[in-house]
Structures are given as C-alpha cells and as structure tokens.
Structure 1
Amino acid sequence: MDLFSRSWTALRTAVAGLSDEDFARPSGCAGWLVRDLVCHLVIDAQDVLITLATPAEAEPTRDAVTYWNLVEAPAGDDPLDALTVRLAAAYEDPRLLTFHLDDVGSAAGRAAELADPGLRVSTRGQVLTAGDYLHAYVLEWTLHHLDLIAHLPDGAEPPADALAESRAMLERIAGAAFPPAFSDQDALLIGTGRRAPSGAERAALGGLAEKLPLVLG
C-alpha cells in the first residue's frame, strides 16, 4: 500500500513539474505525446476510484501479478487509445489537464490510503483484494513514469524501490529473471518492448529474449 502511494505521488509530482512545451513532446508510449499519456493517467485514476468503490463477496480470482494479462502489441487502431488522444487534445491548455490529474489523482491517492487491504474488490470481471489491486498498479505507475520522462532528460526518475518491485513483478509475469547486469530500468524498458536490446543484451537474455516483449493489458 505504501509503495502504491509513493510511486503514484512521484508520478503526479513529475507531471506537475512539466512545462507547457513538454506536453507536446513524444512519450515512451508509441504514438502518444506526453499530453496523451497524462490524459491516460486521469482515466487510470478514475479506474482506481471506481474499483475501490466496487466491493465483491466472491473469493479472489487474481493477485497483483496475475492481474496482468499478456496481450498482442497495439496495432494503433484501438478505439480507447484513439479516444484518449482526442480527449487530451480537447484540453488545449495543458494546465487544465494537470489540474484534472491533480484533482482526480489526489482523490485516488486518498482512497488508496483509506482502503482496507483485505477488502475484496471487482474489476475487469475479476476479484482481488484491494491490497493486491493497488500493488498491481505499482507496475503501471512505474512504467508510465518511465514513459513520461522518456524524452525529458531532466525528468525525475521513479522511486528506486518502485523500480525494483516492478522488475520483480515483471520477472514473475515472464516466469524468468532478467540478467543481474541489467539495471531495473533497463529490465523494464527492454522487457516491455519500450527499448530494443543491444546485441550484447540480447545474448545475455538467452531464451528469455524469445518471450519479449511482454505487452501488459
């Protein structure tokens, strides 16, 4: 629960520090500008609020790792992705987008802090404990934090403990460990296809290279 709060706070702080010009720069999400990514974060925050307000009585069917599904790489024709881009453009003034994220994001952060970790919640047709659901989002926040600063050389990086835990989660999803020589950031970027491995890195990956990229949905 604490790691959710730290990673989410760090990401929202990074967004708050963006200049207006930064919103028009590319992000680490293929085809998305920074403004599109920030708009996606608003939707993510809404999802957190909705899920925490949707209790379930059934036994959990997923945990923080199995919450994630491996999916095909986006083909660029997903209707929700297209909607996100249109919504982001509709804000026009980046400060309005920042305000909306701060408003909804702060509420999501408070709801997470108040949530009972053992509470069962329902989302995407599955049941998880609130603790597992929020822990799954540590990976989401950390990857998107890296996306945010992908083309911002002075951008603050995600918390070190969030990077380490996100790497551990991705390794459990992959069913294999990344080479110890890989930094946590490189393991996440290469593992999810955000950066292509060099020849030496591919050789170090061995059989794991055939499983990559791991596209999470």
Structure 2
Amino acid sequence: MLDAVAGLPDEDFAQPSGCTGWLVRDLVCHLVIDAQDVLITLATPADEPVTADAPGYWELLTEPPSGDDPLDALIPRLAAAYGEPRWLKHHIDDVGSAAVRAAGLADPAARVRTQDKVLTVADYLTAYVLEGSLHHLDLVAHLPAAPQPPADTLAVARTALEAVAGAAFPASLRDADALRIGTGRRAPTPAQTAELGDLAARLPLRLG
C-alpha cells in the first residue's frame, strides 16, 4: 500500500475514498495513525496471558460509523493541515516503512497489549493485514488506475475475515469481492446473496 500511495498523482488526493465522508487524503492520514499504532503496540510488551486471538481483536459494530467519533472527525482536519500531498506522502512513507520494519523484526510468539487486549504478535499482525487490505481497497475504490492490493495479501485478509465470520465465503467470490461484501463496502447481487446462504443474514461485519 505504501507504494500505491507514493504513486498517486496529487489530484487523486482530493478524490473520494471508499470510506464514507473521507477523501483519499483523509484516508492516507488515517493510515499514518494506523502505522503509529503498529509501532506503539509492538513496543508495548505484555507479561499477562493472551486474552484475544486475531478474530477476537475485532469488535463488531451494530451500526456503521457515523463520523461523530472525535478521532474520525479529527482526521479530515489533520489531513487538510498537511497542505500539499507530498507532505502526506512523506509522512506515510516514513512511519509506514518503520512499522513494516518493526513487524518484520518482532518475535511472532511475543505478547503485546493494545485496546485492553493481550495478543501474540502473530495474531496482532494478522488482524492488521485485514485492516490494511480493506483500507487499500478503500484507497483505490474510485481510482481505477491505482495499483490494487497484491493477490497474496488479499487471500490472507479473506482468511482472516472468514475467521471473524466463523464461516467461509463462497469460492465463486473473488477475494476482493468477499472483503468488500463481507464488510459492507459493497452490497451483494441477488445471485451472490443466494450463494452466501445463511451467512448473508449475518452480513455485513462492521469491524471496529
């Protein structure tokens, strides 16, 4: 995703993203905060027993985000404060690259604390693969020329979402479609609803 952001022309930052109410620049600003969260969590070891696995990291919301959350409302103001897109590009590359390096150096079996939960590093990073893949799809939702998420990353993210759902999505659904439909980013067609069967009634999974 860092390469995708780096390659965006300046005018794309003013286009809508796949996150309702956010422009691409707002989403990229959110990604900066996500990368900071990764660094903070990997630097917050825990001695207590594990309390959550990768699926348990997520809280399932009953309603979509309204934009009233203070942090959600702050993001567009922070993004606007960057001014030129090049400064946002610089910051996400700087912090995001550091987060990737830290993830690669971390012991997968080590325990970390975040959001009042204790997880192994492996489970925490699995949850963040899902987070990052969904936001990559959000980034390119209205930018057909921008690079899509890598196929292997989408496959891992799909498996992670299926673990949250407790059920597999139909094999006929492409990974990107399973992720979008599963999280409410796109409505299924009537045929896809039929294929989803009982799972359709439990969708979308609003991850918080």
> Which TM-score bucket, shorter chain as reference?
over 0.9
SS in structure 2 at match of 1:66 = helix
> Is it true that 1:27 corresponds to 2:27 in the alignment?
no
Q: Partners in 2 of 1:122 and 1:67 — Cα distance?
A: 11
Aligned to 2:49: 59
Aligned to 1:98: 89
> Partner letter of residue 35 of structure 1?
R
1:118 Cα offset (Å):
1.4
Alignment of 1:17-166 (within 5 A): 17-71=7-61, 72-166=63-157
Q: Partners in 1 of 2:122 and 2:170 — Cα distance?
A: 29
> Is it true that 1:201 corresponds to 2:187 in the alignment?
no
Q: Partners in 2 of 1:179 and 1:129 — Cα distance?
A: 30
1:126 Cα offset (Å):
0.6
User: How many corresponding residue pairs?
Assistant: 207
SS in structure 2 at match of 1:42 = helix
Q: 1:16 aligns with which of 6, 11, 23?
A: 6
1:26 Cα offset (Å):
0.6
- Post-superposition CA distance 1:146-193 (Å, at most 9, x none): 111101111111111111111111111111221111111110011101
Q: Partners in 1 of 2:104 and 2:53 — Cα distance?
A: 19
Structure 1 residues 172-181 or 84-93, which shifts more? 172-181
1:205 Cα offset (Å):
1.5
Aligned to 1:6: none
SS in structure 1 at match of 2:206 = coil
> Partner letter of residue 203 of structure 1?
A
Gaps of 5+ in 2: none
SS in structure 2 at match of 1:128 = strand
SS in structure 1 at match of 2:57 = coil
Q: Partners in 1 of 2:159 and 2:35 — Cα distance?
A: 24
> Partner letter of residue 119 of structure 1?
A
Structure 1 residues 175-184 or 91-100, which shifts more? 175-184
> Partner letter of residue 106 of structure 2?
A
TM-score of the aligned structures, taking structure 1 as reference length: 0.93
Identity %: 69
SS in structure 2 at match of 1:127 = strand
Does the 8 Å CA contact 2:169/2:178 hold for their aligned counterparts? yes
1:76 Cα offset (Å):
2.4
Q: Partners in 2 of 1:57 and 1:88 — Cα distance?
A: 37
RMSD, aligned α-carbons? 1.0
Q: Partners in 1 of 2:168 and 2:106 — Cα distance?
A: 32
> Partner letter of residue 129 of structure 1?
T
Q: Partners in 1 of 2:112 and 2:175 — Cα distance?
A: 30
> Partner letter of residue 96 of structure 2?
G
Aligned to 2:161: 170
